[in-house]
């Protein structure tokens, strides 16, 4: 997908901006739009001190785990990383050229057919953990089968999602702790974000009393779009188009003149900068040093400078998040799937919260079409 051709909206369609669509105790953006908290804990503290698994536990169980609780939780995830043979067969039959988001969407839906949620009250925790545990397995089983012709064992025994993902992707057991931590931090930052489009989709589906898998499958569909999760892939493709910071400056100015969107910039909620972006910029810089990169990081910094100078827009989570993933050697089409792997934690918490206080989500539309008029029989139509 390329960033060219994403045009800024011509009219001020509301997009429900500023509308409070419901209550949540899961996460909040502070009034200034400067910080994001998960169940009251700042993402700055979580990104510097917690692991992704701790954050998943916090989102699902409303408290930070003790050491023992975390150990049991991780053991549970480890046990659930394997895939049913029927799902593997489906993944083998999907085209190797498919968009990896289609693979996760189909994989989630297929798993729901083989391991259905029969009793929401009893099964929803199990399904949430199953999806957190096995989304990397679904994606990388498909990837390695089609790329390498290998039927890999997805039950790696690895408790950390980041290490599990990188070892399945690379086919290596030993991954550098710095790389594991970089991916881990990105997963923490992507894990939850109150009533964004995909979460609201999950909640809407859950509000009809549909099953957990249907809600998550819908969330994946919403996240795929370039205005939402798909922006990290589009941002990376844009960054790679430029060879030098000067070239980037010229290219971005031309895009803005043509009123094109620069992916990875702007945010509906953060108007003074996305706090997640600041953390990921630091990680992208660390990895740039590790890779001895002297090209891409300076290009990104120049794009950031130009976007602020020309539009007063800041990078969002997807801009330096994309660069971080690129430096980790992750193929660009897997950037948005990684967002799913993280965000399924937040979606799950929201589905459960919606169910706990459910009322069908069914807003109204303001009709702007023709006034009532008589039906015209076929023979009388021009
Ligand atoms: N590039 C160029 N112009 C932009 C951009 C951008 N990335 N973002 C906003 N603008 C302009 C927009 O055209 C408008 O200009 P004007 O006032 O002249 O009409 C002005 O800035 C205000 O923007 P808006 O359209 O009112 O902002 P919004 O709240 O409707 O949209 C957004 C938020 C994220 C959809 C938008 O900023 C955008 O399209 N960004 C690019 C896509 C992107 O990076 N998405 C990832 C979002 S964060 C992670 C996630 O949720 O997945």
**Which one of the listed residues 318, 350, 357, 379 is annotated catalytic?**
318
Helices (H), 50-176: 52-61, 67-79, 85-93, 100-114, 120-148, 161-170
The residue behind tokens 């994946």 is: 220
Query: In this structure, what token pair is assigned to residue 298?
Result: 């300076």
Distance CA 174, CA 296 (A): 26
Residue 31 pLDDT class (50, 70, 90 cuts): confident
Global pTM?
Answer: 0.94
CATH of the domain at 98: 1.10.580.10
Tell me whether residue 207 is in a domain: yes
**C-beta 199 within 6 A of ligand 1:** no
| 3-class DSSP state of 38 | strand
Number of domains in the chain: 1
**Pocket mutation for ligand 1, best pick of 5, 6, 223, 266 (most atoms within 8 Å of C-beta):** 266
Tell me whether residue 282 is in a domain: no
Residue-range definition of the domain harbouring residue 140: 44-175+203-225+332-356
On the question of pLDDT at 2 being above 50, the answer is: no
Expressed in angstroms and rounded, the spacing between residue 336 Cα and the centre of ligand 1 is 18
**C-beta 263 within 6 A of ligand 1:** yes
Smallest CA separation from ligand 1 atom 9, residue? 266
SS3 content of the chain, % helix, strand, coil (to 5): 60, 5, 40
Segment among 10-14, 19-23, 60-64 with least mean pLDDT: 10-14
pLDDT in tens, 63-100: 999 999 999 999 999 999 999 999 999 999 999 999 99
So what's the pLDDT on residue 30?
84
Q: Which atom of ligand 1 is closest in space to residue 269's alpha carbon?
A: 29
Tell me whether residue 70 is in a domain: yes
Q: Please provide residue 21's backbone torsions phi and psi, each rounded to the nearest 5 degrees.
A: -100, 0
Residue 380 pLDDT class (50, 70, 90 cuts): very high
Could you confirm whether 293 is annotated as catalytic? no
241-264 burial code (b ≥16 CB/10 A, e <16): ebeebeebbebbeebbeeebbbbb
Expressed in angstroms and rounded, the spacing between residue 144 Cα and the centre of ligand 1 is 35
Tell me whether residue 141 is in a domain: yes
Cβ atoms of 286 and 245 closer than 8 Å: no
Smallest CA separation from ligand 1 atom 51, residue? 228
Smallest CA separation from ligand 1 atom 42, residue? 227
Who's near 219: CB < 8 A, 6+ residues apart? 198, 199, 201, 202, 205, 340, 343, 344, 347
**Which one of the listed residues 143, 164, 267, 350 is annotated catalytic?**
267
Tell me whether residue 33 is in a domain: no
Distance CA 289, CA 291 (A): 5
**C-beta 8 within 6 A of ligand 1:** yes
**C-beta 16 within 6 A of ligand 1:** no
Tell me whether residue 49 is in a domain: yes
């Amino acid at each position: 997908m390329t960033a060219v051709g994403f045009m800024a909206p011509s009219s001020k369609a509301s997009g429900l901006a500023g509308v409070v669509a419901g209550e949540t105790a899961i996460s909040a953006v502070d009034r200034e739009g400067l910080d994001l908290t998960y169940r009251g804990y700042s993402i700055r503290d979580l990104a510097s001190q917690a692991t992704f698994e701790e954050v998943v536990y916090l989102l699902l169980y409303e408290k930070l785990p003790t050491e023992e609780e975390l150990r049991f939780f991780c053991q549970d995830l480890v046990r659930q990383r394997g895939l049913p043979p029927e799902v593997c067969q489906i993944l083998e039959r999907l085209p190797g050229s498919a968009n990896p988001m289609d693979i996760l969407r189909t994989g989630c839906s297929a798993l729901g057919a083989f391991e259905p949620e029969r009793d929401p009250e009893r099964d929803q925790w199990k399904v949430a953990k199953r999806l957190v545990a096995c989304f990397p397995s679904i994606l990388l089983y498909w990837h390695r089968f089609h790329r390498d012709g290998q039927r890999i064992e997805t039950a790696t025994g690895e408790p950390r999602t980041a290490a599990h993902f990188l070892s399945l992707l690379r086919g290596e057991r030993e991954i550098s702790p710095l790389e594991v931590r970089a991916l881990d931090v990105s997963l923490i930052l992507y894990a939850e974000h109150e009533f964004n489009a995909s979460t609201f989709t999950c909640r809407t589906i859950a509000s009809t009393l549909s099953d957990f898998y249907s809600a998550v499958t819908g969330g994946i569909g919403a996240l795929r779009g370039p205005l939402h999760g798909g922006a990290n892939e589009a941002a990376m493709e844009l960054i790679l188009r430029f060879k030098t910071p000067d070239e980037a400056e010229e290219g971005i100015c031309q895009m803005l003149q043509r009123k094109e969107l620069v992916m990875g910039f702007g945010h509906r909620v953060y108007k003074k900068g996305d706090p997640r972006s600041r953390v990921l910029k630091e990680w992208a810089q660390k990895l740039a040093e590790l890779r001895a990169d002297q090209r891409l990081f300076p290009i990104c910094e120049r794009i950031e400078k130009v976007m602020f100078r020309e539009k007063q827009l800041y990078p969002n989570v997807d801009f330096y998040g994309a660069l971080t993933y690129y430096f980790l050697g992750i193929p660009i089409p897997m950037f948005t799937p990684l967002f799913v792997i993280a965000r399924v934690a937040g979606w799950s918490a929201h589905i459960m919260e919606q169910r706990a206080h459910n009322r069908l989500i069914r807003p109204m539309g303001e009709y702007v079409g023709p006034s009532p008029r008589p039906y015209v029989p076929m023979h009388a139509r021009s």
